[in-house]
Amino acid sequence: MHLVSSHARIGLRVVATLTIGALLLAGCATSQVATTTLSGTPAFSISVPLSSVGCTLNDICVAVGTSSTNVGPSAVAEFSTPKGRWLNLALPSATSPLVTSTACSGSQCLIGGSQPGNDLVWRFVASSHSIVVATAPPGGVGINALTCNELNCDAIDTNAMGIPRLSLSGDDGLTWTHPLSMPWASGDAITSLSCGAVFDCAVSATTSQHHVELYVTRDGGLTWTRRTTPNSWTSLTSMTCQQRSCVALASVGTSSLVVRSTNFTRTWTSVSLRQRANAMACSTLTSCVVVGQHTNATPWLATLSGAAPLTTSLRYVPSPLLNVACGSKVCAAIAVTTVLSMPLALYSGK
């Protein structure tokens, strides 16, 4: 919850200073610049900042934002077709909703967050282009993180005592297992959740002293094992695991690293991005898209299919990119009032 909320706070500050026109992204000296230029599209709402995005495996993406300003709508959403056309999307009625995370399976996405005193879980059904109220884990007061693969979804929420809990679903979020407490994360900000197998999950969190906590479970949350991380890391986000291999974003001061592990987070290798990354999404563990901003706050997007990042030129994107998601052949990125679709074939040479 805290990670996406920070994106929303960044977005609210940027909304007040948006300028009209396009900003052309310059490539950094340490990476190549892609010849293809990506163009952003204005979001349907400019009063509610977008904060979360997800893409199904059949390449339909959904972007959602919420606002507590009590001016205009409190929540907005839109979706894109596999060809990149964005369309407006109606949301269920909710009191003071706060969306914190989105995770997608083959043809659906779960949208998680909170409403006063309860978890908030919505389901985006790609086939009908609709969002409906979904079942939430019992007894929670807010979703912190979601992750899904083709059928299984997993959630971390917080109970009324402030203790994070892990819940698993084997039916795309229709039903949930009994939540299991994660006392090791009490008082921490959950930053990432990924389950590379049914019961094998990795969870990262940031302490109040800006240290990374990383734990893994091999039994669906019954027991947890702590992993050590470099002292220089201040956060670990956007984690994606498949079996025992994982890729994630690590923050080191004002710069970012793409970090990879082949032994279920015991050890990591890293690639420096030399820019501030806000989020990363991967279609495979070796094909990823990273979004963020340059030091002058202009937007930045890069692809990684090898060792070095490939910076992409952008136009009609007037503020930093905050979040990104990938399906099988398409990725989508969002800024506070901008959406952007990206066919992966442009960069894979397929």
- Average of per-residue pLDDT across 284-301: 93
Q: What is the pLDDT of residue 348?
A: 52
| 8 A C-beta contact, residue 211 and residue 232 | no
User: What structural domains does the chain harbor?
Assistant: 2-348 (2.130.10.10)
Q: Is the pLDDT of residue 350 over 60?
A: no
pLDDT in tens, 146-178: 999 887 899 999 999 999 999 999 998 999 999
Mean pLDDT of the chain: 88
In the block, residue with structure tokens 């909710």: 94
Antiparallel, parallel or unpaired: β 180-181 and 164-169: antiparallel
Residue 215, pLDDT score? 98
pLDDT at residue 183, rounded to an integer:
96
State residue 260's pLDDT score. Answer: 96
**Which pLDDT score is estimated for 307?**
66
Prediction pTM value: 0.88
pLDDT in tens, 94-110: 999 999 999 999 899 99
- Name the residue with higher pLDDT: 348 or 50: 50
The secondary element (H helix, E strand) that includes residue 308 is none
Distance CA 8, CA 1 (A): 11
**How high is the pLDDT of residue 151?**
76
How many other C-beta atoms lie within 10 A of the C-beta of residue 90?
A: 10
In this predicted structure, the answer to whether residue 21 has a pLDDT above a threshold of 90 is: no
27 confidence band (pLDDT: 50, 70, 90)? very low
Name the amino acid, one letter, at 159: N
